[in-house]
């Protein structure tokens, strides 16, 4: 049984007909590096990956955050395409408040808008609400990233507002951050409508 006390030590594997999430390990580095070197992935993100050294630093940070109980990163495998698709993580975790964030999510550009994001999100949302018994799951993105905002709305997230001058990207750009969320009271209906194709499908 997964509890807040043992969460970070657990080997959490989530999968459905399209997406398989496995805890990020060093073994995933060589699979994810070629994807991460598509620099367009990082246009609106806080982190900026321009070369292998940048990605090594980004990757090591993700592994370290799990060791220090700060986040839980996953490698995303696309079962339909039979290839690794990208990365995501649970972060900003507050079990006392029963909330966390799904973020730091990126995919191979060729796999964007193919359904892999939707398949991945239902795994993370279902586990969060139904296994971890959370009250709230957050998502956020740059105010400039209209594609990401559209994707969040498409899967049923509620836009809550904009935090102005909320962060500074690694390239020095000051960004406004748009917050979205799901809450437990709304999740059953969202799951049964927006994600209905994944219900009861292994």
Supply the mean pLDDT for the chain. 96
DSSP 3-state of 191: helix
Banded model confidence at residue 200, pLDDT cuts 50, 70, 90: low
- Whether the pLDDT of residue 201 is over 70: the answer is no
Predicted confidence at residue 95, as pLDDT, reads 97
CATH architecture of the region 7-198: 3-Layer(aba) Sandwich (3.40)
DSSP assignment of 112-156: TTTTHHHHHHHHHHHIIIIIS--SEEEEEEETT-HHHHHHHHHTT
Domain ranges of the chain: 7-198
Nearest CA-CA partner of 161 in 175, 145, 184, 140:
140
Q: What is the pLDDT of residues 101-132, one digit of tens each?
A: 999 999 999 999 999 999 999 999 999 999 99
Predicted confidence at residue 146, as pLDDT, reads 95
Compute the distance between CA of residue 35 and CA of residue 31 in angstroms, rounded to an integer. 8
Phi-psi region of 141 (alpha: psi -120 to 50; beta: other; left: phi over 0): beta
Nearest CA-CA partner of 103 in 115, 79, 87:
87
- Whether the pLDDT of residue 3 is over 90: the answer is no
Compute the distance between CA of residue 161 and CA of residue 188 in angstroms, rounded to an integer. 23
Q: How are the residues of the chain apportioned to helix, strand and coil, as percentages rounded to the nearest 5?
A: 35, 30, 35
Q: Which residues contact 109 (CB under 8 A, 6 or more apart)?
A: 38, 40, 41
Q: What is the pLDDT of residues 41-76, one digit of tens each?
A: 999 999 999 999 999 999 999 999 999 999 999 999
Beta strand 136-142 with 99-107: parallel, antiparallel or unpaired?
Answer: parallel
Nearest CA-CA partner of 47 in 168, 146, 164:
168
DSSP 3-state of 185: coil
- Whether the pLDDT of residue 202 is over 80: the answer is no
Mean pLDDT of 124-151: 96
Banded model confidence at residue 199, pLDDT cuts 50, 70, 90: confident
């Amino acid at each position: 049984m997964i509890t807040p006390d043992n969460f970070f030590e657990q080997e959490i594997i989530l999968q459905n007909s399209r997406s398989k999430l496995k805890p990020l390990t060093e073994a995933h580095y060589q699979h994810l590096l070629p994807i991460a070197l598509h620099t367009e992935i990082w246009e609106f993100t806080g982190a900026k990956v321009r070369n292998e050294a940048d990605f090594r630093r980004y990757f090591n940070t993700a592994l370290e955050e799990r060791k220090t109980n700060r986040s839980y990163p996953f490698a995303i495998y696309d079962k339909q395409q039979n290839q690794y698709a990208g990365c995501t993580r649970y972060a900003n975790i507050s079990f006392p408040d029963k909330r966390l964030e799904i973020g730091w999510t990126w995919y191979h550009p060729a796999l964007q808008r193919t359904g892999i994001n939707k398949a991945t999100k239902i795994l993370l949302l279902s586990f969060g609400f139904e296994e971890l018994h959370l009250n709230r799951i957050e998502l956020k993105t740059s105010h400039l990233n209209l594609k990401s905002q559209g994707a969040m709305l498409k899967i049923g997230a509620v836009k809550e507002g904009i935090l102005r001058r909320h962060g500074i990207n690694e390239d020095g750009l000051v960004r406004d951050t748009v917050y979205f969320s799901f809450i437990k009271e709304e999740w059953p209906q969202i799951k049964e409508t927006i994600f209905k194709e994944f219900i009861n499908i292994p």
